[in-house]
């Protein structure tokens, strides 16, 4: 059982490392800090509750069952951290948030103190590593200590369930998904861990033996509940940057056709070694470099090429936007060929603004790159006829000296 509990603690604690990857920023953000504290305390609860840890703590202190108040106190601290996290997540006036946090910490601080005092007053000389709750269910002071830590944890989980249900009606997207995971984890904790503990303890009071609920059912349910809650806490905070990085990497890759065409004329300074840079940083550098190259190629734009390809694409059934992209791709390819061959700019060259320079972000450049990759001259027009007006002008990207 210890191995399973340690594994749950490792997975649970790893999420805090992901959130705390930038310590300075995390320390200045109460929400990130309280999330990390709650997850770390949850992982410590599992570490303390493992039979191997309990035996070690008891041996080191020389006090039988000293691991019990340690574990219960840690669980109470975790319950407090969860409530503090919910308070920071809800937000509001700083004075009100601070007041609610202090009150919560004071209440659970008294709870931890009561657990320690009750343990000191109790007669618990027989070491129990897995069934302490049921074994001492009828022992004075130990009975009260067990009920006290369960009630403190139940209160925190019920508040979490109520808050998640209420907020779930007010939010959308990833935040709602995270709240649903937290709600599922909290509900599983209440039913799978706490209810089974209560049932096993009450069964002892009535002379029945349902210890397996406390020793075999409750621990794995608590582990699963904690993992669901941690996933719900970190999902709204980690997934958006992950998605943004993935999109940046995808856009960077999709810009390859355009970059291969214009990089020979780009004068933008090259960045330092890029193996450590994020996808978004590499994408931004490529955007800047491409825009710089487009400015260099602007004098070579042949608007006769652009008009012929645009008209041909419109006759082939393309939408005005698709026709414009195809025409600009053909004109840009022709300009890159002229620049590579060191030809004189066309006499009819005039100022023209590409669609890719009219829209913010990389979307316009990506569209232009995809138009270069799939020129309309390679696809049949409606009815199976080849648009000859476009085919003649779009064969030039195949020339090796342009790439």
Q: Does residue 134 lie within any of the structural domains? A: yes
Neighbour count for residue 154 (Cβ, 10 Å): 18
The tokens for 395 are 């064969």
* Closest alpha carbon to 132 in 202, 63, 66, 68: 68
374 is in which domain, residue-wise?
263-398
222, 291: one domain: no
- Where does residue 345 fall: left (phi above 0), alpha (psi -120 to 50 degrees), or beta otherwise? beta
Q: Does residue 340 lie within any of the structural domains? A: yes
80, 213: one domain: yes
Q: Does residue 78 lie within any of the structural domains? A: yes
Torsion of CA 258, 260, 266, 272, to 10 degrees: 110
189, 277: one domain: no
Q: Please report the pLDDT score of residue 16 as a whole number.
A: 60
Q: Please report the pLDDT score of residue 1 as a whole number.
A: 55
Q: Does residue 258 lie within any of the structural domains? A: no
CA dist list (Å): 304 to 187, 277, 297, 335? 69, 41, 16, 12
108, 66: one domain: yes
Q: Please report the pLDDT score of residue 391 as a whole number.
A: 36
220, 298: one domain: no
211, 294: one domain: no
Task: Report the distance separating Cα 237 and Cα 218, nearest Å.
Answer: 30
How many domains does the chain fold into? 2
* Closest alpha carbon to 134 in 72, 201, 208, 202: 201
Q: Which of 243, 271, 301 is the last residue of a domain?
A: 243
242-252 b/e with 16+ CB inside 10 Å = b? Answer: eeeeeebeebb
Which residues are CB-neighbours of 339 under 8 A, at least 6 positions away? 264, 265, 296, 297, 300
Task: Report the distance separating Cα 62 and Cα 38, nearest Å.
Answer: 30
Q: Contact at 8 Å (CB) between 374 and 300?
A: no
15, 150: one domain: yes
CATH number at residue 213: 1.20.1070
26, 161: one domain: yes
370, 225: one domain: no
Q: Which of 187, 215, 243 is the last residue of a domain?
A: 243
Q: Please report the pLDDT score of residue 240 as a whole number.
A: 76
Q: Please report the pLDDT score of residue 38 as a whole number.
A: 84
126, 270: one domain: no
Q: Does residue 256 lie within any of the structural domains? A: no
Could you report the average pLDDT of every consecutive run of 10 residues in the chain (403 residues)? 65 63 62 81 86 91 91 93 87 88 94 95 89 91 94 92 86 83 92 94 92 89 84 77 80 88 78 62 85 87 88 89 90 88 72 81 87 62 37 36 33
Q: Which of 189, 209, 243 is the last residue of a domain?
A: 243
Q: Please report the pLDDT score of residue 198 as a whole number.
A: 95
129, 204: one domain: yes
Q: Does residue 82 lie within any of the structural domains? A: yes
Q: Does residue 117 lie within any of the structural domains? A: yes
- The C-alpha angle with vertex 384 and arms to 379 and 387, in degrees rounded to 5, equals 55
229, 270: one domain: no
Q: Does residue 141 lie within any of the structural domains? A: yes
Question: Measured in Å, how far apart are the chain's first and last C-alpha atoms?
Answer: 62
């Amino acid at each position: 059982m210890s191995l399973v509990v340690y594994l749950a603690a490792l997975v649970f604690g790893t999420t805090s490392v992901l959130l705390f990857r930038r310590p300075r920023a995390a320390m200045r953000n109460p929400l990130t800090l309280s999330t990390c504290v709650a997850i770390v305390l949850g992982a410590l609860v599992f570490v303390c509750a493992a039979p191997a840890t309990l035996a070690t703590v008891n041996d080191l202190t020389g006090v039988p069952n000293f691991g019990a108040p340690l574990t219960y106190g840690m669980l109470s601290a975790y319950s407090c951290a969860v409530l503090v996290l919910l308070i920071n997540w809800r937000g509001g006036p700083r004075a009100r948030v601070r007041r609610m946090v202090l009150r919560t910490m004071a209440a659970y601080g008294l709870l931890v103190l009561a657990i320690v005092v009750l343990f000191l007053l109790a007669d618990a000389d027989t070491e129990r590593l897995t069934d302490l709750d049921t074994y001492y269910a009828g022992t004075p002071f130990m009975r009260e200590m067990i009920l006290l830590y369960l009630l403190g944890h139940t209160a925190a989980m019920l508040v979490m369930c109520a808050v998640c249900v209420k907020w779930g009606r007010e939010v959308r997207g990833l935040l709602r998904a995270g709240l649903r995971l937290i709600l599922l984890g909290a509900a599983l904790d209440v039913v799978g861990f706490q209810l089974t503990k209560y049932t096993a303890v009450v069964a002892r009071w009535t002379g029945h033996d349902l210890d397996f609920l406390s020793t075999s059912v409750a621990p794995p349910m608590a582990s699963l509940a904690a993992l669901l809650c941690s996933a719900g806490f970190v999902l709204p905070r980690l997934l958006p940057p992950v998605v943004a990085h993935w999109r940046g990497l995808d856009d960077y890759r999709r810009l390859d056709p355009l970059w291969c065409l214009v990089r020979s004329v780009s004068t933008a300074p090259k960045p330092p070694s890029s193996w450590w840079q994020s996808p978004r940083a590499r994408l931004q550098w490529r955007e800047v470099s491409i825009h710089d190259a487009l400015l260099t190629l602007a004098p070579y734009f042949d608007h006769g090429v652009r008009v012929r390809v645009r008209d041909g694409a419109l006759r082939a059934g393309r939408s005005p936007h698709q026709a414009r992209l195809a025409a600009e791709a053909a004109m840009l390819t022709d300009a890159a060929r002229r620049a590579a061959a060191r030809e004189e700019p066309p006499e009819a060259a005039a100022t023209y603004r590409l669609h890719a320079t009219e829209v913010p972000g990389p979307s316009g450049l990506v569209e232009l790159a995809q138009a270069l990759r799939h020129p309309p001259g390679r696809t049949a027009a409606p009815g199976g006829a080849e648009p000859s007006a476009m085919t003649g002008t779009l064969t030039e990207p195949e020339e090796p000296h342009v790439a």
